[in-house]
Amino acid sequence: MVKELARPAPSLRRGTAPEHAWAFLDGELVPIRDARISVMTHAFNYGTGVFEGIRAYWNAQDEQLYGLHLKEHYARLHRSCRIMRIALPHTIDELVGITVDLLRKCGYREDAYIRPIAYKSSPLIGVRLHDLEDGFTVFAIPFGTYLDIDRGISCAVSSWRRTDDNAIPARSKITGAYVNAALAKTEAAEAGFDEAIVLNQDGHVSEGSAENLFIVRDGVLVTPPGSDNILEGIVRASILQIAADEKIPTLVRQIDRTELYIADEAFLCGTGTQINFITKIDNRPLGEGTLGPITERIRRIYFEAVRGKVARYRGWVTPVYTGSRT
């Protein structure tokens, strides 16, 4: 008799796949329980994969699921592959098509998270990037809010530094590199903070454990440049676009650690976290310790745009279902 497995606690179930989830693996859609790879897979042994995290937002009024910035994510996946010498056998448009087919197959009528991974697939011992086979998979799971976005978060500057471009390039979204993010996140969580802010090897502010960072000083929105070992985030680019359209002054420049302590506002942003305002950094309250006016303005527009509700940003989203009212 097969022993019934106890259902994991809700906190452990978060981010897991439901029974009816599907995956795209080796060129076909399969039920996620059948999407398996060997324990000898190179990427499993050495972290030689690159990935994306993409969201799709359910719009109940339109009865439509909108994939957010699908092309931009797959363009970044292609760039990550170039750095890591992974051959991706699909164009950006094909990858968008595969993702839409996958979401339709899953049939989600709620927010979802999509995870494509391109990886060194050879079942082989030997550390290198050359002379290996490459694989590609993508799966999608239901996914609500990742951190409580209305509460605001406390952050600590991490004792872990972001990996340097000449060690493990942060610009490429490499699976193995997320050990660095995990070390920072767990250190922060176990010290009682919600998130970590990591500095780069020079001691300048880089980003959150797996989010980009913005601060506001004297009405100017400031974020570190790509050359400060950040992932060149897609939400970050969207926020810079909103700020430009709203005539909010922005600066992309290096940020010192102590600027975090004197900022009027600060927030972390990314596909998973969305836009999360920071109330305290290293136990120093930021501004009023509440949601600041510039963050509030940007957040309001962003959360409408991702559900296809802002005409100006309609190009950000791809409707998944056909035959709907949109």
Residues that bind ligand PMP (CB under 6 A): 53, 181, 207, 210-212, 231, 233-236, 270-271
Phi, psi of 281 (to 5 degrees): -125, 125
Report CA-CA distances (Å) from 283 to 1, 170, 210, 255, 286.
Answer: 54, 28, 21, 19, 9
Shortest CB 7 distance to ligand PMP, Å: 29
Angle at 218 (CA atoms; ends 215, 224), nearest 5 degrees: 30
Q: Which two tokens stand for residue 88?
A: 């991706």
Measured CA angle at 209 (ends 223, 220), to 5 deg: 15
Q: Residue 117 CB, nearest distance to ligand PMP (Å)?
A: 13
In the structure encoding, which two tokens stand for residue 20, read together?
A: 């009816």
Please report how close the Cβ of residue 53 comes to ligand PMP at its closest, in angstroms. 5
CB of 180 to ligand PMP, least distance (A): 8
Structure tokens at 2: 């097969």
Nearer to ligand PMP, 42 or 185 (CB): 185
> Which residue number, 270 or 287, has a Cβ lying nearer to ligand PMP?
270
Could you tell me the smallest distance in angstroms from the CB atom of residue 230 to ligand PMP?
Answer: 6
Query: Could you please report the per-residue DSSP string of 143-155?
Result: ---SS-TTT-EEE
Indicate the angle between helix axes 234-245 and 70-84, nearest 10 degrees.
130
Between residues 118 and 132, which has the closer beta carbon with respect to ligand PMP?
Answer: 118
Residues in Cβ contact with 293 at an 8 Å cutoff, skipping those fewer than 6 apart: 265
CB-nearer residue toward ligand PMP: 122 or 160: 160
Distance set, CA 32 to CA 35, 41, 234 (Å): 5, 18, 27
Nearest to ligand PMP of 204, 236 (CB atom)? 236
Which of these, 229, 256, 236, lies nearest to 298 by C-alpha position? 236
Give the span between the Cα atoms of 253 and 235, in whole angstroms: 17
Q: 122 or 274: whose CB is closer to ligand PMP?
A: 274
How far is it, in rounded angstroms, from Cα 277 to Cα 299?
Answer: 9
Sequence-ordered list of residues with C-beta below 8 angstroms from that of 58, at least 6 positions apart, any chain: 64, 65, 66, 108, 109, 110, 111, 112, 307
- Give the residue numbers marked as catalytic: 173
Q: How far is the CB of 236 from ligand PMP (least distance, A)?
A: 6
